[in-house]
Amino acid sequence: MKRRVLASVILLLAASLGGCVSMEPRVYDVRSAPLPLLQAPVRLDQIADAIMRAGASLGWQMRRTGAHDMTGILDVYHAEAVVSVHFTTHSYTIRYRRSRHLHAAAGRIEPRYNVWIKSLSQQIEFQAACIGRIQCRQAI
């Protein structure tokens, strides 16, 4: 009888602790995403400019930190996200560096961070596709 009670208590405790696990999504990183096929060969500085434009259009402060690297900072609603962007003339990678007030822990983060990164990725691809075009409408 005592074993049944003990087993029931353990199961109840395990179930209640399971509810305490964070439901936040995993941190979204963009890894080696291919850039759109471009009409002509492009220079690395053109890709860097496209990434700068993409970030600026979404409120990111982008700063070049190396030949193939940038740091992006987004400060929105008292929350801050910092990412590193590595790029070549064929692909780019966006990785989480740190954040403030986004409840990041154990590889998880608030959902709005992932939305910001997906938007940045889409805008990078759009701006890269615009390289060499005289007119290119702004993405909606």
Using CB atoms within 10 Å of the CB of residue 3, give its burial: 0 to 12 exposed, 13 to 18 middle, 19+ buried: exposed
Please check whether the domain covering 26-129 is classified as CATH 1.10.760.10.
no
> Would the pLDDT of 5 be above 50?
no
Q: What is the pLDDT of residues 6-46, one digit of tens each?
A: 445 454 444 444 444 456 899 999 999 999 876 678 899 99
> Would the pLDDT of 107 be above 80?
yes
| Strand 79-87 versus strand 91-100 pairing type | antiparallel
pLDDT at 37: 73
CA–CA dist 50, 47 (Å, integer): 5
Q: What is the pLDDT of residues 65-104, one digit of tens each?
A: 999 999 999 999 889 999 999 999 999 999 999 999 999 9
CA–CA dist 8, 1 (Å, integer): 11
pLDDT at 111: 95
Both tokens of 137, joined, read 């409408």
Considering the entire predicted model, what is its pTM?
0.79
What is the residue extent of each domain of the chain? 26-129
CA–CA dist 117, 58 (Å, integer): 10
Q: How much is the average pLDDT of 41-69?
A: 96
CA–CA dist 22, 25 (Å, integer): 8
Confidence category of residue 3, pLDDT binned at 50, 70, 90 = low
Of 109, 69, 61, 65, residue with least CA distance to 86: 69
